[in-house]
Amino acid sequence: METIAHKKLFVKIPVEFAQYGYLTFLRPKELAVYLALKQFENSVTHVCFPSYKTINRITRVSKSNVRHILTKLELFQLIDELKSTPQDPHKYNKYFIRPNIHPINAWALDELRKVAADIKKKRAERWRTRKQMLPRLYATRVAHSSQKVKGILAKVLAQIPQQTKPT
């Protein structure tokens, strides 16, 4: 069981974080992941190595989103992800949290905007194709279900003995 003594209760956010506009560009989930990394940061080496599962448990952000957010934080040059070497027997994710925060890189901002625009286009395109396919899918499902119903009715009717009309 973890005690309060084992946890950092406060995390320092650099003043530059607000000055350079990171708070306006980072979503709450991204900020939560960054703060979770800061919680595990060694104050001398600025290195931490929490797993995706640990970050997930602290921030309640899914593991796949944690991966995407970490790449975004790398693009903003807030962290560097250091992968384990092939000679190392233990596989881990090691993160170097940059102590000096620089103004937001204009190139990184442009890249992020391009990626966001591409994602929006792809989502809109997928939605349009789904919307176009829905009537066809519905029509084929109705046709298949009506054929099944007709087949079942034919079998049931075949099993019922033919009644003769009373005269």
In this structure, the answer to whether residues 70 and 131 fall within a common structural domain is no
Q: Give yes or no: residues 114 and 99 share one domain.
A: no
Q: Is 14 exposed, middle or buried (0-12, 13-18, 19+ CB in 10 A)?
A: middle
Q: Are residues 31 and 82 in the same domain?
A: yes
The reply to whether 75 falls in a domain is: yes
Mean pLDDT for the chain overall: 76
Last residue of a domain, one of 85, 103, 121: 103
Look at residue 111 in the predicted model and tell me its pLDDT: 73
Task: Kindly tell me if the per-residue pLDDT of 4 is higher than 50.
Answer: no
Q: Rounded to the nearest 5°, which phi and psi values hold at 98?
A: -65, 125
Same domain, 44 and 81: yes
- Domain range enclosing 26: 7-103
Host H or E run for residue 94: strand 93-97
The pLDDT score that the predictor gives to residue 55 is 93
Domain shared by 88 and 33, yes or no: yes
Strand ranges of the sheet holding 93-97, from the earlier edge strand across to the other edge? 47-48, 93-97, 79-83
Task: Give the number of other Cβ atoms within 10 Å of residue 65's Cβ.
Answer: 16
- With a cut of 80, say whether residue 165 has pLDDT above it: no
Rounded to whole angstroms, the Cα distance separating 20 from 30 reads 16
Residue 127 has pLDDT above 90, yes or no: no
Looking at residues 68-83, what average pLDDT do you find? Answer: 86
Structure pTM?
A: 0.59
The structural domain count of the chain equals: 2
Q: Is residue 107's pLDDT more than 80?
A: no
Structure tokens at 86: 């092939």
Give how far Cα 4 sits from Cα of 10, 38, 69, 117, 142, Å: 12, 17, 28, 43, 60
- Of 58, 75, 103, which one is at a domain's C-terminal end? 103
The residue from 59, 85, 103 where one domain ends is 103
For the stretch 11-53, pLDDT in tens is 777 787 777 777 777 888 999 999 999 999 988 999 998 989 9
Clarify whether residues 87 and 139 are in a common domain: no
Question: Rounded mean pLDDT of 121-132?
Answer: 77
- Kindly state whether residues 85 and 48 are assigned to the same domain: yes
